[in-house]
Structure 1
Amino acid sequence: MTDRAAGLGAAPRRSALGRAAMALLVLLTLVAVAGGVVAWTQGYRLYAVRTGSMAPAYPTGTLVVVAPLAQEVPTTGSVITFRIGDGLVTHRVFATSAGGLTTRGDANPSPDAWTLPLDRVVGSVVAAVPNGGYILVFFKQPTGALTLVSGLVSLTLLWTLFFPGGEPAPGAERAPRPVHARA
């Protein structure tokens, strides 16, 4: 077998491996998107912790996953996200009473000044990703999605530049290789 014949078998193998890797990446992306859609329809939401009031458990920049309440009244010690005015706050339940909930941030020395009605509770925190909130805030900005799209286009163009398609078509002539003279 000649060197040229051995080289022809390598390109289809690399191409098949590349296609398999791309198919796996697409499959994983579709599974992640489908899982996100299902979680969203079930009431799960993602929020970024913007202050240090819940440190050290949830420091600034933490991404929290909030699920709808599993029970009617959150228990003392559970971490909840609730609406105050136009904003959202994530604090721990300090006490419960007939009038509502008293909350407190872990880093705060005293409970919050308000009694929280139960209808203001968005849900309870079920998971957290340290520093993941920064990514969420970035992609909520108008330039965040544009940056993602332009980055993906750039990567695709660079990939085709450095890893061009397989072998030339049968019958197509190859450009001759330059011959370097030795001195």
Structure 2
Amino acid sequence: MADITEFIVIVLAVFAFLLLLGGVGIYLLVRLGKKAAVKAKQASNRIATHVNAMGTGVAAEVERFRLDLRREVSLTRQAVEQAQRDGWGLGDLPRLLADLQAQADVHDGQLGMYAQQHRMSQFVDHVTLDRLREHQAKLTAMCARIRADLMSDQVRHSATGIADLTSRTDLEIEARRHAPDPLDEIDDLYRRSLEDRNDRP
């Protein structure tokens, strides 16, 4: 009887362990599924934006604004990240970029809502559209200014490095040149003086 109870306890322990593993596996699969669903929704929104931007009219123009803004913010973020990797002193620029990105996300949502409303209704709110265009211009200009400033710093730093390399190269080339032999110079001067005497009538 003791052998049977031990066997049943072992089987139950193994079964409980397998249930625990199965539960953890299901939990991880559900989390992975949720993340995949979020990514799929984001991808479908981006694809829908690209497709809608191919059309004509105000709604397509607004969708193109969204794409342009995403591209500008992405390029600016890449430039700042590259500068951080290179060890540039950026000051408060990363925080400013985070604020700019948050504002761009808000603006993107407003553009999306405006485009959706315009596709459903043919009545266009020109005042809001003008304000959205103005905000778009300001946000993209800020991104361009940040990138231009970073590029200017990088070019200035590169110019310093190039000037240093040029001077080092000149020194190295000068050091590698063979110094003229003084006896050859004296011989050359003597030969010239003899030729000058012979040329005189």
> TM-score, normalised on structure 1?
0.31
Q: Compare the two structures and name the one with the higher strand fraction.
A: 1
Q: Compare the two structures and name the one with the higher helix fraction.
A: 2
> TM-score, normalised on structure 2?
0.28
